[in-house]
Amino acid sequence: MGLELYLDLLSQPCRAVYIFAKKNGIPFELRTVELLKGEHHTAAFAQVNPLKKVPALKDEDFTLAESVAILLYLSRKYKTPDHWYPEDLQARARVDEYLAWQHTGLRSCCTRAMWQKMLIPVFLGETVPPEMLASTLAELDRCLQLLEDKFLKDQAFLTGPHITVADLVAITEMMHPVSAGCQVFKSRPKLDAWRQRVEAAVGEDLFQEAHEAIMKAKDLPPADTAMKEKLKPLVQVFLH
């Protein structure tokens, strides 16, 4: 058996890996792991990734966790076009810089905004204190401004004139609050123009395919009691 990717396209890191693999014609078997059903906590999945997180990669008898590691593994193994993860030392360092920052920067803000604005009140039926949501949205706005000023600047893409894995990671992160109804791009023409360039470079059909599930998340039926219990520890993370 060849390359297997364990993904749930509700997850931002999974969408980045999915788009990268599809765009570069990398052959893989999709193994769907439904997070909202707790499938990442099963014993079977723990054999692939003991961290019990998606995405995960299985390449014959080799397994790999963490989305950034997976993206870089795929770029090297399949010798994808240089612009995705440049050989040039300083150009690569700029990509690495964003990938190192985003975990506690933009991704954290975007995920928290989605949970507090949509998943907790709509899917789980719990109340989010207004002042907490306001603080989260203010932090999201600060991160978006930092993305513009520090990374995008006056360039076509986040690290220069060509799309890289940094752009894929960033755009998939930003679709989380968009799916929750946050006006991420409406008042930011520079970021909106960048979004359009990323979508064009990826291809509109692939972009829409990858984000179809998250854009429909607001239509999820309310969670049952068992699911609420399973998600309670996660909910507490996003309410503190």
Query: Tell me, what CATH number does 115's domain have?
Result: 1.20.1050.10
pLDDT tens digit sequence for 146-203:
999 999 999 999 999 999 999 999 999 999 999 999 999 999 999 999 999 999 999 9
DSSP letter (8 states) at residue 7: E
Are residues 12 and 55 both part of a single domain? Answer: yes
pLDDT tens digit sequence for 1-26:
699 999 999 999 999 999 999 999 99
The CA angle 77-28-34, to the nearest 5 degrees, is: 120
pTM of the model: 0.94
Last residue of a domain, one of 21, 45, 80: 80
Residue 240 has pLDDT above 90, yes or no: no
| Residue 228 pLDDT class (50, 70, 90 cuts) | confident
- Structural domain harbouring 141: 89-238
For residues 105 and 51, give the distance between their C-alpha atoms in angstroms, rounded to a whole number. 22
Last residue of a domain, one of 80, 108, 129: 80
Percentage helix, strand, coil for the chain under 3-state DSSP, each rounded to 5: 65, 10, 30
Are residues 134 and 233 both part of a single domain? Answer: yes
Last residue of a domain, one of 80, 102, 137: 80
Q: Name the token pair of 85.
A: 């993860």
* Total domains present in the chain: 2
What pLDDT sits at residue 143?
96
Percent of the chain with pLDDT over 90: 82
For residues 156 and 164, give the distance between their C-alpha atoms in angstroms, rounded to a whole number. 11
What lies within 8 Å, CB to CB, of 187 at 6+ separation is none
- Residue indicated by tokens 């930092």: 146
- Residue indicated by tokens 């506690």: 104
What lies within 8 Å, CB to CB, of 35 at 6+ separation is 8, 10, 11, 54
